Structure 1
Amino acid sequence: MQFTSAALAPYNTFGLTQTAEQLVVLSEREQLSPLWEAAQNQPLLVVGEGSNIVFTQAFSGLVLVNRLQGIEVTETDEAWLLTVAGGENWHQLVCWTLEQGMPGLENLALIPGTVGASPIQNIGAYGVELAQFCHQVETIDWQTGQTRLWSVTECEFGYRDSVFKHAAREHVILSVTLRLPKAWQPVLGYGPLAELGEQATAQQVFDRVCATRQTKLPDPSVLGNAGSFFKNPTVVTPQAEALKLAWPALPVFATVPGWSKLAAGWLIDKAGLKGTRVGGAGVHTEQALVLVNYGGATSEDVLRLAALVRERVEQLFGVRLEPEVRMMAAQGETYLDEALACLNLN
């Protein structure tokens, strides 16, 4: 099998102009065996639509673009089981389930990316996470070439986290099986959804989520971005209570006992960072949680801006933000401080 080098701008929604030493589009399972044999002993990165990735350097290995397609449905008395190929578009899947009368995923509408990417970050929005519906994940082990089925427990899901996030070079996600219970209840605990009332239909929830996201979040096809750049930070409850006294409008959400979650976008906004730019990268003027490419942004611009945001928020609130986006260096996943050090930006 022959590989070719390629520009990565079409494969990341931030629109950063890095390159890959090798790139292959995976559209058929029959490609896997020869691909695995030819690609041993080199860095591997699997990309869906690149909606949660910031390339900090040119990638010196194989970028595998997952375009596997297909949905299989099995029905029981209690639920629908959907086995969905990793290359399917996530939002289109949400739309399809509603069209088929299978509610449950409506809170996760308009989250960019593919089904194969969804378990890596344990995607979530408006009080719902993928982990609530994930039944199993099918992968190919890139070390052995063997396929494996992971139970939801084995996936080790956490807040924007999973076992796959920490083993990105070891497993290619081929499909995800979702379990959608027939005993459906709307999840309305977050923001504008509460206004709908307990009699809300799944379609009404879907419509409200889409309208809210379209109002707040820039379209990456118009303004390059990778969605929410930072995680909502979790702090001990006494710290959250102290911050709430100083900043009464601060949104605080209860999590596990003794811990509270803060709204990262609110913290960035109150730090006066909306509209701040470094080169071609900037904090979005409407949604402070999103960093955007205003045109010609480089990896260095994005890293400098992210570091500035983190520093300002920590200085004002004593809370250290952690990026939600995955950062990719020459050999694989990296972190903000490592990426800064590699580019001599510290």
Structure 2
Amino acid sequence: MSNLPATDPASLVLTPVSQDLSRLNTLGLASRADAFVTLADPAQLPEVSRLAGEASSLLVLGGGSNLVLPERVEGLVARVAFKGVRLLEARPDAWLVEAAGGETWHGFVEACVGQGWDGLENLALIPGTVGAAPVQNIGAYGVELQARFHGLTAWDVREGRYVEMSEADCRFSYRDSVFKHDEPGRWIIVSVRFALPRPWRPVLGYPDLQRHARLAAGAPTARDVFDAVCDIRRAKLPDPAVTGNAGSFFKNPIVPAGTRDALAGRYPGLVSYAQPDGRYKLAAGWLIDQCGWKGRALGAAGVHDRQALVLINRGGAGAADIMALARAIQDSVFQRYGVRLEPEPVVV
């Protein structure tokens, strides 16, 4: 993606403008950028480095699905809109597929399944863009992006050059990566490459998938898994186009086995999942639900009535409203269980 030619020199000129961001973040928070540009061509990236050098900060914006934006965003906001999906290589053990950073994630997953490049179907219907996916190391229903990742091309804004980054470079962990910690605004992810396994085998470890009618009969296809995941997510999660939300607002906390065992002794219904390193992942949604938060609200911010992990904008909420609710939930869970929940979205 990084070597695409620019056909129109005039299109490379970036003129920052003031921009309403209310429809560019899935929480629907009222927000405005002082200086906003859209990147439609990788050849514009040197210009972004120049503009960023003159600004107080740089916020790289994808689909806005994992952000809590303030009422005013100072500095430069650059929205990534690079497009393109291509098969790089059909190896005996994998399809190597590349997608531009501005492609919608769900659209990319659907395109892969349609082409027979299977392996991402468990990640269907996750909002956001391909370029934002590595930042969060997105995951769902037993598959994390890290497991399918091959490499990416990024623009180093500070150095003004392209860099190739491996899995080790990205420092992936649970819903985390180097991009969240290494100088926010330094990296613009131009394209991401995936190694999709051949032969393909379905990942059906989660009970919701095992119970789904499309999959219970056995021998499912990747399309069957894709459709089942979409069904499940639509039944459980609100559509951001209808109800503002950022998906799961809290990470599932990972605790030592001793902590999990002590909690399970006191709370027999505790939902937990063993991890390869001997620790346990606790279901944050269960913890929040048990504290009585499902369906409750604090002013314009609320907790979804079908999924306690999802905080919603009930209309007119700002960042302060969302974060006040988040802190109240964190305090409640900590007081009862001694476990501190960590927000999943990036709070600007």
Alignment of 1:140-151 (within 5 A): 140-151=155-166
Contact preservation (8 Å) 1:103, 1:180: yes
List 4+ stretches of structure 1 deviating above 4 A.
none
Q: Which residue of 1 aligns with 2:151?
A: 136
Residue 115 of structure 1, aligned match among 124, 130, 148: 130
In structure 2, stretches of 5+ residues that fail to align are 1-13
Amino acid at match of 2:102: G
Alignment of 1:117-196 (within 5 A): 117-167=132-182, 168-195=184-211, 196=215
Residue 46 of structure 1, aligned match among 48, 51, 60: 60
* CA shift for structure 1 position 19: 1.3
Deviates more, 1:193-202 or 1:153-162: 193-202
Residue 107 of structure 2, aligned match among 78, 92, 97: 92
Q: Which residue of 2 aligns with 1:11?
A: 24
Distance 2:254 2:70 in 1: 26
Amino acid at match of 2:24: Y
Distance 2:236 2:230 in 1: 10
Over the aligned positions, Cα root-mean-square deviation in angstroms equals 1.2
Deviates more, 1:185-194 or 1:225-234: 185-194
Contact preservation (8 Å) 2:58, 2:78: yes
Distance 2:326 2:188 in 1: 29
Cα deviations across residues 170-219 of structure 1 (Å, max 9, x unaligned)? 11000000111211111111121123356222111111111111011000
TM-score between both structures, scaled by the size of structure 1 = 0.92
* CA shift for structure 1 position 248: 1.8
Matched, 1:210 2:230: yes
Contact preservation (8 Å) 1:3, 1:22: yes
Matched, 1:31 2:44: yes
Contact preservation (8 Å) 2:27, 2:68: yes
Amino acid at match of 2:205: G
* CA shift for structure 1 position 32: 1.6
Matched residue pairs, number?
328
Alignment of 1:302-313 (within 5 A): 302-313=322-333
Contact preservation (8 Å) 1:223, 1:293: yes
Residue 258 of structure 2, aligned match among 225, 238, 245: 238
Deviates more, 1:90-99 or 1:161-170: 161-170
Cα deviations across residues 96-130 of structure 1 (Å, max 9, x unaligned)? 11110111001000000000000000000011000
Contact preservation (8 Å) 1:192, 1:208: no
The share of aligned pairs that are identical, in percent, is 48
TM-score between both structures, scaled by the size of structure 2 = 0.92
Distance 1:64 1:269 in 2: 37
Amino acid at match of 1:217: L
Cα deviations across residues 37-75 of structure 1 (Å, max 9, x unaligned)? 233142001111100000135211111111100012122
Distance 1:205 1:182 in 2: 17
User: Match of 1:288, SS?
Assistant: coil
Contact preservation (8 Å) 2:71, 2:318: no
Matched, 1:62 2:73: no
Amino acid at match of 1:44: L
Amino acid at match of 1:262: L
Contact preservation (8 Å) 2:18, 2:34: yes
Alignment of 1:267-286 (within 5 A): 267-286=287-306
Contact preservation (8 Å) 1:126, 1:191: no
* CA shift for structure 1 position 7: 1.4
Cα deviations across residues 261-307 of structure 1 (Å, max 9, x unaligned)? 00000110010011221221101111100000010112111111001
Distance 1:257 1:52 in 2: 28
Distance 1:62 1:144 in 2: 17
Amino acid at match of 2:84: G
Deviates more, 1:188-197 or 1:258-267: 188-197
* CA shift for structure 1 position 225: 0.4
Cα deviations across residues 299-345 of structure 1 (Å, max 9, x unaligned)? 111111001000111111111100011100xxxxxxxxxxxxxxxxx
User: Match of 2:168, SS?
Assistant: coil
Distance 2:51 2:338 in 1: 49
Distance 2:339 2:54 in 1: 40
Amino acid at match of 1:243: L
Contact preservation (8 Å) 2:15, 2:37: no
Q: Which residue of 1 aligns with 2:242?
A: 222
